[in-house]
Amino acid sequence: MYVKKLTKNGQILLPAALYRMLGIKDGEFVTIYEEANQLVVTNHHENAHLNKCIFRNGKLSIPMELRKMLKIDTNTLLLLQAYPENGFIKIMKLIEDQANSLHLEI
């Protein structure tokens, strides 16, 4: 489990351990979509109409429409968790109470 923030360009740096678990390589397209008020990142998805972005230097860009939908900005704490058995990473918005229970400083 990792806690991250977006860069000013709307990108998020994924820890190497997470993207290596899923076999995501630099320059590869990944799919990012909203599901149950969370973002899901996967390198294999049957729906070709979902948002795709290039994974570069450990970073991926979260599309503006998804950031607006989930009210995510550069001050938002995001919780990243890998699910290698299912082939995806979930990015969840972390609220202040959750951050406090994890002993994180905001």
According to DSSP, the residues that pair with 82 across neighbouring strands are 89
Question: How many Cα neighbours within 13 Å face the side chain of 73?
Answer: 2
Domain ranges of the chain: 2-94
Global pTM value: 0.80
The pLDDT tens digits of the residues spanning 65-97 come to 999 999 999 999 999 999 989 889 999 988 765
SS3 of 15-59: the string is CHHHHHHHCCCCCCEEEEEEECCEEEEECCCCCCCCEEEECECCE
Beta-carbon contacts of residue 2 (< 8 Å; ≥ 6 apart): 15, 18, 79, 80, 81
The pLDDT tens digits of the residues spanning 5-60 come to 999 999 999 999 888 888 889 999 898 989 999 999 988 777 766 788 888 999 99
Domain 2-94 belongs to what topology? Chemotaxis protein chec (3.40.1550)
